[in-house]
Amino acid sequence: MKSHKVLFEKTAHYFTLGEANKETKYFWLVTHGYGQLASRFIYKFDQLDLTENFILAPEGLSRFYWKRSAPNPVGASWMTKENRLDEIADYTRYIKKLYEEYKSQMSADVKIIMLGFSQGCATQMRWITREFPDFDHLILWAGLLPEDLDYTPHQDYFSKKNLKWVYGNEDEFLKEKHITWHQQFMQEQSLDLESIEFAGKHVIDRKILKEVFEKIKDSDT
């Protein structure tokens, strides 16, 4: 048996809130977690002032069925361990294309926020460390830095960004051992992520999101 692969054109789906134009102050590129759909995930951000904020939510390239008993039976994923490098390359090209297309529609001084939730945290970090796009703020929410990446050669790049790690103290997927490991790993990699713990589970809490965004706006003034 021989293994083969072929590169071909594929249709990807994404969703937006607001309008990308020269009046946009904040450009959000947000990546959902495992099993979510971008169409549902993006509504976590509808409380933002859409005259100033533009939110772009790409959807993972692989869809699958949850168990029939699930309320939302279809979900999407960014990657698995099978042919992982090809999947990373695919979604990197996809996200980069969207990022460049919409960034070009906004002013040069627009503030760019990258937010990843759960599996979307690794997605953000993998495409960022491949392409090193311009951005101002990174929010890793309820997820961890990929441990197989070496961030130390890029300290100058990350030192110029505002980095945050947000997680709930009742997160059913982030146990104490994961939190301890992540804090140690951030130190080893010389990444200065501000840790923000909130009372809650494995969700993007709208109230906390608003508070985090207020911090971001304060830091930009």
What's the structural domain count of the chain?
Answer: 1
Is position 176 within any domain? Answer: yes
Write the CA distances from 106 to 11, 20, 30, 54, 131, integer angstroms.
Answer: 25, 6, 17, 10, 20
Provide the total of helices (H) and of strands (E) in the chain, helices listed first: 6, 9
Tens digit of each residue's pLDDT (9 = 90 or more) over 121-153: 999 999 999 999 999 999 999 999 999 999 999
Q: State the pLDDT confidence band at 184, using cuts at 50, 70 and 90.
A: very high
The enclosing domain of 111 has a CATH number of 3.40.50.1820
Structure token digits, residue 173: 């997927």
Is position 7 within any domain? Answer: no
Is position 1 within any domain? Answer: no
Is position 2 within any domain? Answer: no
Q: Mean pLDDT, to the nearest integer, of 110-115?
A: 98
Q: How many CB atoms lie within 10 A of CB 115?
A: 26
Residue 141 · residue 31 · CB < 8 Å: no
Please state at what angle helix 119-131 crosses helix 84-103, rounded to 10 degrees: 70
Is position 53 within any domain? Answer: yes
- H/E stretch holding 26 reads strand 26-31
45: pLDDT strictly greater than 80: yes
Is position 178 within any domain? Answer: yes
Is position 34 within any domain? Answer: yes
Residue 37 · residue 76 · CB < 8 Å: yes
4: pLDDT strictly greater than 80: yes
Q: Mean pLDDT, the chain, as a whole number?
A: 94
Domain that holds residue 185: 14-220
Q: Which of 137, 162, 161, 166 lies closest to 26 in space, CA to CA? A: 137
Structure token digits, residue 205: 């809490």
Is position 4 within any domain? Answer: no
- H/E stretch holding 182 reads helix 176-188
